[in-house]
Structure 1
């Protein structure tokens, strides 16, 4: 019969700290990816809005030129 391997308190603490740091790093990576994607989406939307505003301005100018 083999005896189960017993871990020291220091080994258990080391494993707990290692698992905590790994979990935190993974979460930070996931949140960073979410934020990066959101910033990209917002920039794209604002760029689309700017394009629309330029087109509206140009249409308004053409309409005013046609009136004159």
Structure 2
């Protein structure tokens, strides 16, 4: 079940991100497209790192609290 859900999420994100990024890049002057691409990747990576940090904090905090009982 998890594989199906993750597969559907991947297809959904992939089918959205490519046209969205193409639209964004088309609206930016060619001389600024490198900066825009770098900023987009930086924000995407920062979101990934923040999400993983929150998940790990919640997971290990719950695990530690549960092991003390």
Q: State the TM-score bracket (shorter-chain normalisation).
A: 0.5 to 0.7
> Of the two structures, which has the highest relative contact order with CA contacts closer than 8 Å and spacing of 6 or more?
2
CA drift of 1:33 comes to 0.2
Structure number with larger C-alpha Rg: 1
Q: RMSD across aligned C-alpha pairs, in angstroms?
A: 1.7
Mark the runs of 5 or more structure 2 residues left unpaired by the alignment.
1-26
Question: May I ask how many residue pairs the two structures share in their alignment?
Answer: 43
TM-score, length-normalised on structure 2? 0.56
Higher-helix-fraction structure: 2
TM-score, length-normalised on structure 1? 0.57
The alignment status of 1:7 with 2:32, answered yes or no, reads: no
